Structure 1
């Protein structure tokens, strides 16, 4: 890679961007970005300008020779890029509100990355990302694409299947496990190891080593679990966790505590609105703060947004690829036989050694027998949904939805799918071609 280091952020007008800028500034010595391009669509230009000006003030305050460019011309930005990160939301927060509210009307969990809402997000998002990849194949074929856009595992699998772009899927959830362990044990992160098994937003932690000692048994017995501000804080059944022998991701509450989570969503929706509506209010507050010409640092309110540590994960991955550090990170990559009950080209979320040539997935030492069926079922849904997104085939979309563990009946899936597609007509045109 050249000494001229160009990073492009697609979805640069996102409220998350200041966190990424902070990460780039803090890691400048090991990852000296000379050109940073923030890209957004014309509808996001106002937010792009606000975030971009804050980014420039942050870089100026740090006295770094990093040029910050703002543009709505994606192709101009991508030419000669070394790294491209994506954090886009096709249909903006309004589409997320539909993803969360329409399923609730059918008595089904409404969530933006799993279930019917997650599928609609995938149907809108995958074609948009494949278009970006087409530009990259022409303008920066050797660049790495780090994909944060949800549903991250599905989007990454689609890119790996349908393009030649080097891509890695990323989520802030694994890094929050380490933050949780640091709080519990007060030990530096270098002295910890957690093994992850599963898919994006569907993983289990099956080994935890802290300072050379296994701590999993102790944690399973304590009822301790890591969580996130954007997922309802329901407790796990202690006997269930102990006999499972693994700590589930907080996203697994949608599966294991389906009834309780649905009740929680329905009452929250009636009181304060869906999570999307809460986020919309939070975003409005953040952008008011970002506008302040005196502000030249990431405001603490950003932590409440639900994507804490995202920049830490992103910058750490770019830095490791750039410097060939060969450290271990939890990312979304091709299975390549790691989980022997899934296809080789399926995208999984596991620990990898990060090299200049890309991440090398590590074998997993423990896969609880009880979780294999759920991983397989959700992966089957994901693969059907990916192909539906690319082809616009309603039959495939219905099969995907009907086979999702969170959907109780085909007779619920069919009308719900029709209503969701109709609402999203502007963003899923393939489903409306004759």
Structure 2
């Protein structure tokens, strides 16, 4: 590892991002122990150049210039000798994502996110895996010793692809969904008078995490050695029908990313473990008749189907913000996101140990799931080391659901690496949501989705070039 934490090289793939890249920039303004140069690589070179200007201005204002941002149009030069590589990309564009999410609606299939599982997640994976194959090979050639932090969905398959292409890679997937559940536990403690409002930080909530990304489960949760499961059980009984709504304008009816936690509560009442992701993600991993049979059923469970039109509108607003930041007409507000990427890097540099949840190949930390499959558990970070925490595994009734998705992931990974559309279709046919269709309708949907999304990437997909 780099012996000088003030002279790091970080390669940010997807460096033109107006989401995760900006989050990372803002978090860096609080960091005083690290410094160096961040190389921003993006297929949209102008977006990367915009972030170079924005990032450097932000560092000059808030960080004494410890970090320099540099847009780099060459992936190889951006990677060469990097200490850390961050990846947050959108595979394709929102036009492809609109197909992922909305094309299945013509067949009565509804998705609340559409980027991890279900027909949308599987189609997104077919676009993403070839890109991650190339990224893995580029990292192998230019930065084989770098630590790689992946933020792209589908998280499990992106991380799995990196290891399939470059088994010695030092990569892990980062997701904040568990953080939201830890924050919910604090709200429950406040609700029942255990602690005054605003006095407990998320880091004080200790949870044992296990499962796969966006379908993670907690079998132990505590605060200062006090077991939180009895409290959560009381909460789940009280709010099973109404859901937990704090009120205000930012509720599930006004915010596409909010919910009343009814799916999470229902899963706890079914299985006895705390489902540790947002309701929109959790619902997609379950048989569709549970939560996603219709828009009316979604409203009953008090979460939302996020339309891609909203994401497109949000992108246009962020483009305007980017121009205003570049021209100095507006100043980017600074606040810490609560993400742990920088803390993870510091731990890997030997600047303090860290225990947190990450996605890694299964080397026994999930003894009931296939070895090598990417799973999400806690892991211990120390100098140049990430060691997953061993769990006792999931109850059989939850493991059955998880194994279905891991099997789907393995099939879609094989199909994508072989560029075999027929094999991909066979996997697609076994998806929980697709099983409600006749084989003829499933074939029509698959053909429509692949025809509309794969050719734009220029991949050799069974005749698509």
TM-score, normalised relative to structure 2: 0.83
> Using a 3 Å threshold, how does the CA distance of structure 1 residues 25 and 232 change in structure 2: closer, same or farther?
closer
Q: Is the 1:341–1:376 contact (alpha carbons within 8 Å) kept by the matching residues of 2?
A: no
Q: Which residue of 2 aligns with 1:55?
A: 55
Deviation at 1:237, TM superposition (A): 8.3
Q: Which residue in 2 is equivalent to 1:77?
A: 78
Which residue in 2 is equivalent to 1:86?
Answer: 87
Cα deviation digits, residues 114-165 of structure 1 (max 9, x gap): 1111111111111111212211111111011111111011110111122132
Q: What's the counterpart of residue 117 of structure 2?
A: 114
**Do the aligned residues in 2 keep the contact of 1:220 with 1:247 (CA within 8 Å)?**
no
Structure 1 residues 289, 432: CA separation in 2 closer, same or farther (over 3 Å shift)?
same
Change (3 A) 1:178 1:416: same
> Could you tell me how far apart the structure 2 residues matched to 1:265 and 1:201 are?
23
| 2:225 corresponds to 1:212 | yes
SS in 1 for 2:456: coil
Residue by residue, what CA displacement relative to the aligned partner does 1:208-233 show, whole Å, maximum 9, x if unpaired? 11121111221133126899955462
The alpha carbon displacement at 1:88 in A equals: 0.6
CA distance in 2, matches of 1:96, 1:316: 32
Q: Give yes or no for the alignment of 1:347 onto 2:374.
A: yes
Q: CA deviation at 1:332?
A: 0.4
How far did residue 96 of structure 1 move? 1.0
In structure 1, the residue matched to 2:355 is 328
Counterpart-to-counterpart distance in 1, 2:305 and 2:264: 28
Choose 351-360 or 119-128, whichever is displaced more.
351-360
Aligned counterpart, 2:192: none
Q: What is the 5 A alignment of 1:27-426?
A: 27-29=31-33, 32-41=34-43, 44-62=44-62, 63-110=64-111, 111-163=114-166, 164-185=168-189, 186-223=199-236, 230-231=256-257, 233=259, 235-236=262-263, 241-248=268-275, 249=277, 250=279, 251-256=281-286, 258-259=288-289, 260-264=291-295, 275-292=307-324, 293-298=328-333, 309=337, 312-323=339-350, 325-365=352-392, 367-408=394-435, 409=437, 410-424=439-453, 425-426=455-456
Please give the alpha-carbon distance, in whole angstroms, between the structure 1 residues aligned to 2:173 and 2:369.
18
Cα distance per residue 1:313-362 (max 9 Å; x no partner): 32222222122633211000011123233221100011111123332111
Distance 2:379 2:214 in 1: 17
Q: 1:192 deviation in Å?
A: 1.8
Separation (CA, whole Å) in 1 of partners of 2:292 and 2:315: 24
Q: Per-residue CA shift, 1:390-422, capped at 9, x if unaligned? A: 111123212221222222244443222211111
Q: CA-atom RMSD, angstroms?
A: 2.7
Partner residue of 1:15 out of 14, 18, 41: 18
**Compared with structure 1, are the counterparts of its residues 141 and 33 closer, same or farther at alpha carbon in structure 2 (3 Å cutoff)?**
same
Q: Distance in 1 between matches of 2:271 and 2:298?
A: 30
How many residue pairs match? The answer is 419
- CA 1:334–1:237: 2 relative to 1, 3 Å: closer
Instruction: Tell me the equivalent position of 1:303.
Output: none
| Distance in 2 separating the partners of 1:180 and 1:237 | 11
Q: Distance in 2 between the 1:102 and 1:280 partners?
A: 17
Q: Deviations over 1:36-56 (max 9, x none)?
A: 111111xx2333233332211
Q: Please identify runs of 4+ aligned residues in structure 1 that moved more than 4 A.
A: 224-232, 237-240, 265-268
Contact 2:264 2:282 (C-alpha < 8 Å) held by counterparts = no
- Structure number with greater CO (CA < 8 Å, separation at least 6) is 1
- Quick one: distance in 2 between partners of 1:12 and 1:365? 39
Contact 2:347–2:354 (CA<8 Å) still a contact in 1? yes
| Aligned match of 2:195 | none
Shift of 1:265: 8.9
- SS of aligned partner of 1:142: coil
- Structure 1: gaps (5+ residues): 301-307
How far apart are the structure 2 equivalents of 1:363 and 1:332?
Answer: 13
Q: Is contact 2:9-2:38 (8 Å) kept?
A: yes
What residue is the counterpart of 2:193 in the other structure?
none
Deviations 1:74-127 (A, max 9, x none): 112111110010011121222111111111112223412211111111111111
